[in-house]
A and B are shown apart, each in its own frame.
Chain A
């Protein structure tokens, strides 16, 4: 027997964003492209922004975000609670970013200045990117998620799939290392 295209939301569910999210995931599972598009529209900004900050490359960030959505939809069967789709797709995106960082570390390439983007002089931005490149992927990701994305320790832990204690110790190490590199870089300039 054919299932209905979607189950109408009750009044309470309509007010609950998580229930709405679950409804969209349910409809996507049924093959509804409008629901799929709505999920992408809802979460794309967060995924692209995080990937851009981690990878420091807006074009690559879009590639990774697109890959993350594709992988998330392909692996929807692994999602036990449909309301958890936002963290599910975000975790996939973060993992793909780490994979890219590991590949980049294996094949180091010179950093080129980029004209677009936010505040900070080009020199500072280039220096920060150079220093971030010297951190291991896990340390870099922890630092970026906490400092640039301003996630809480719990949110970083969830995104990276590690305990909060691990986040705390990685953050400590990352900041210490970044500070040392920063001081060395400025001593070199003098």
Chain B
């Protein structure tokens, strides 16, 4: 028997039977019938599985187990911590929500300051016309005052 076929057999032998296709199950059966080594391998695996299952412990713990857990939880003040954590969490969430609201308002306001080059300044500079000798005809014009 080729090594590759035996490898495939051993790989499939460890898979969950429920997850195998019909073709794979047929292959397992037929190969076990043909290959003595793989048949022995399967028998070994099945035996080991039985040994492990037979040695499973069914220890369920002492009757006072629940008491001991309860005591340890109480002495570690776990329940107090759980109750303390809740208001702290609510406070943190409220703060986070407030910060997010402020950020949202700031970023969505259309009148916010911007450095975009397409926008023109809206403020005007009033320069007294009599500062110029020709009465203002050569006064520099502000881009906003054109026309």
Smallest CB separation, B88 vs chain A (Å)? 10
Query: Contact string, A30-55, partner B, CB cutoff 8 A, digits 1/0?
Result: 11010011001100110011001100
Total cross-chain contacts (CB, 8 A) = 126
Give the size of the chain A interface in residues (CB under 8 angstroms): 50
Report yes or no: A44 in contact with B73, Cβ–Cβ below 8 A: no
Q: Does A130 sit at the interface, judged by CB under 8 A?
A: no
Given A172-B11, A179-B48, also A61-B59 (CB < 8 A): yes
Q: Does A11 sit at the interface, judged by CB under 8 A?
A: no
Q: Is the interface of B mostly helix, strand, loop or mixed?
A: helix
Give the size of the chain B interface in residues (CB under 8 angstroms): 40
Report yes or no: A70 in contact with B15, Cβ–Cβ below 8 A: no
Residues of A within 8 A of B11 (CB): 172
Report yes or no: B65 in contact with A62, Cβ–Cβ below 8 A: yes
Q: Does A109 sit at the interface, judged by CB under 8 A?
A: no
Residues of A within 8 A of B89 (CB): 77
Q: Does B81 sit at the interface, judged by CB under 8 A?
A: yes
Q: Is the interface of A mostly helix, strand, loop or mixed?
A: helix
Report yes or no: B65 in contact with A58, Cβ–Cβ below 8 A: no
Q: Which of A70, A124, A148 contacts B69 (CB 8 A)?
A: A70
Report yes or no: B66 in contact with A41, Cβ–Cβ below 8 A: yes
Residues of A within 8 A of B70 (CB): 33, 36-37, 40
A-B contact pairs, 24 of them (CB 8 A): A30-B83, A31-B83, A33-B70, A33-B74, A33-B79, A40-B70, A48-B60, A49-B60, A66-B72, A69-B69, A69-B73, A70-B69, A70-B78, A73-B78, A73-B79, A119-B55, A120-B51, A147-B56, A152-B16, A168-B14, A168-B15, A175-B14, A175-B48, A179-B48
